[in-house]
Amino acid sequence: MSEKLNILGIESSCDDTAAAVISGHLNGSAEILSSIVVSQTDLHATFGGVVPEIAARAHVEKLDVSVIKALADANLSMDKIDAIAVTAGPGLIGGVVAGVMLAKGLAASTQTPLYGVNHLAGHALTPRLTDNVPFPYLVLLVSGGHCQFLIAKGPLSFRRVGGTIDDAPGEAFDKVARLIGLDQPGGPAIEAAALNGEPKRFKLPRPLLDRSGCDMSFSGLKTAALRARDQVIVQDGGLTKQDQADLAAGFQHAVSDVLAEKSRRALLEYLKLSPAQPTLCVAGGVAANMAIRNVLKEVCREHKANFVAPPLALCTDNAAMIAYAALAQLPYRSSDDMGLSAKPRMPLDTSSPTMLGHGKKGAKA
């Protein structure tokens, strides 16, 4: 391989079909040459969430087109690609299989090294791509299918210090938005409605704050929002726009409180490592929520830690992060052969017990 490597990335773990090309060095510095993300939001909107079978078929239709577009935008042909990186898990198995099979076909036909990448590693290493954050750093990965705190010690070394035992926050946002009559995806809809809401009108719980540790739960909070909605409907015969706004604000405020307190605890655990530049990074689609970002920034100020949030396009699912993860890990691992398989579960920290539960948008790691 040349000193500067061109990596083609492929991502299809949930409901975004993505392909990207990055160019970088083994020391970790890299440039994104192209990044294509084809959203499936319209396909799933009427169902109130991601339908795995529909997602898998859409990936099959769009993956090759996305790769061709990514190569064209990067002004490169396949013979200039030094490695192919693909999400091998965790995620909705149909989509992951589609991506892995395409990557294997490309690798076999062009004799290009193949690297299966953990989707979570892609998110966790994104702060290195965007901000060159030094190891070790703390990552809060908060999305539709996952929520966990990871201490990133190196490209292949992660320690989980907490996670959700049931619904991920993004999944809970979608479900609550649906039950109070807001559009999908639920995250942006709830954030917009909450701007005009009173967060203290409804007494919603802050699950697991009465227990030690950094584990989280959002299923009970979702149920509490449902009961609050039902009570309003019984009393008033339906929901007004103000009712929706108040429920959205209350739910968002409760999630923010949980994430803030659990982040404090995770930071205390991380700071035991005495990092030279203490940093909390946030990644995943829920990282776009400004109310959540603001409370996390305040937590970092309390503990004199840096706060890093990559651009939204790199917080949500994308293939540039998969390509970069392969580049960062390349000096420490071998390439994969044609036996590479797709996995619905793929924990980063294999020394910790597997988190319980199975989110609608993907298996917990």
pLDDT on residue 315: 87
- Quick one: pLDDT band at residue 3, thresholds 50, 70, 90? confident
| Of the candidate ranges 57-61, 190-194, 286-290, the one whose mean pLDDT is the lowest | 286-290
User: Which residues face 158 on adjacent strands?
Assistant: 152
Q: Is the pLDDT confidence value at 362 over 50? A: no
Fold of 5-131+313-350: Nucleotidyltransferase; domain 5 (3.30.420)
User: Across residues 64-89, what is the average pLDDT?
Assistant: 97
Q: Is the pLDDT confidence value at 364 over 50? A: no
CATH 3.90.1300.10 assigned to domain 137-312? The reply is no
C-alpha distances out from residue 248 to 55, 161, 170, 257, 339, Å:
28, 29, 14, 14, 46
Buried b (16+ CB within 10 A) or exposed e, 319-334: bbbbbbbbbbbbeeee
Which has the higher per-residue pLDDT, 307 or 313?
307
- Here the tokens at position 160 are 């989980």
Which has the higher per-residue pLDDT, 358 or 300?
300
- Dihedral sign for Cα 283, 289, 292, 293, please: positive
Q: Give tens-digit pLDDT for 124-181.
A: 999 999 999 999 999 999 987 789 999 999 999 999 999 999 989 988 999 999 999 9
| Of the candidate ranges 25-39, 86-100, 322-336, the one whose mean pLDDT is the lowest | 25-39
Helix (H, G, I), strand (E, B) or coil at 314: helix
User: Across residues 308-335, what is the average pLDDT?
Assistant: 94
Burial class (CB in 10 A: 0-12, 13-18, 19+), 27: exposed
> How long, in residues, is the chain?
365
Helix (H, G, I), strand (E, B) or coil at 152: strand
- Quick one: pLDDT band at residue 287, thresholds 50, 70, 90? confident
Q: Is the pLDDT confidence value at 118 over 50? A: yes
- Quick one: pLDDT band at residue 41, thresholds 50, 70, 90? confident
Q: Give tens-digit pLDDT for 225-279.
A: 999 999 999 999 999 999 999 999 999 999 999 999 999 999 999 999 999 999 9
User: Across residues 170-199, what is the average pLDDT?
Assistant: 94
- Quick one: pLDDT band at residue 360, thresholds 50, 70, 90? very low
Q: How many CB atoms neighbour CB 53 within 10 A?
A: 9
Which has the higher per-residue pLDDT, 362 or 322?
322
pTM of the shown model? 0.92
* Ramachandran quadrant class, 105 (left: phi over 0; alpha: psi -120 to 50; beta: rest): alpha
User: By C-alpha distance, which of 52, 81, 54 is closest to 68?
Assistant: 81
Helix (H, G, I), strand (E, B) or coil at 52: helix
Beta strands in the chain (DSSP E): 5-11, 16-24, 30-39, 83-89, 114-118, 137-142, 147-154, 157-163, 279-283, 306-308, 358-359, 362-363
Q: Is the pLDDT confidence value at 354 over 80? A: no
- Here the tokens at position 334 are 């071998």
Delimit the CATH 3.30.420.40 region(s) of the chain: 5-131+313-350, 137-312
User: Across residues 43-71, what is the average pLDDT?
Assistant: 90
Rounded-to-integer distance, Cα 19 and Cα 16, Å = 10
User: Across residues 65-94, what is the average pLDDT?
Assistant: 97
pLDDT on residue 355: 63
Helix (H, G, I), strand (E, B) or coil at 119: helix
- Residue spans of alpha helices (H) in 237-289: 241-271
Q: Is the pLDDT confidence value at 1 over 80? A: no
Q: Is the pLDDT confidence value at 285 over 90? A: no
Q: Is the pLDDT confidence value at 33 over 80? A: yes
C-alpha distances out from residue 301 to 128, 151, 154, 281, Å:
21, 19, 25, 13
pLDDT on residue 356: 52
Would you call the peptide bond into 199 cis, given omega within 30 degrees of 0 as the criterion? no
Q: Is the pLDDT confidence value at 16 over 50? A: yes
What is the amino acid identity at position 66?
S
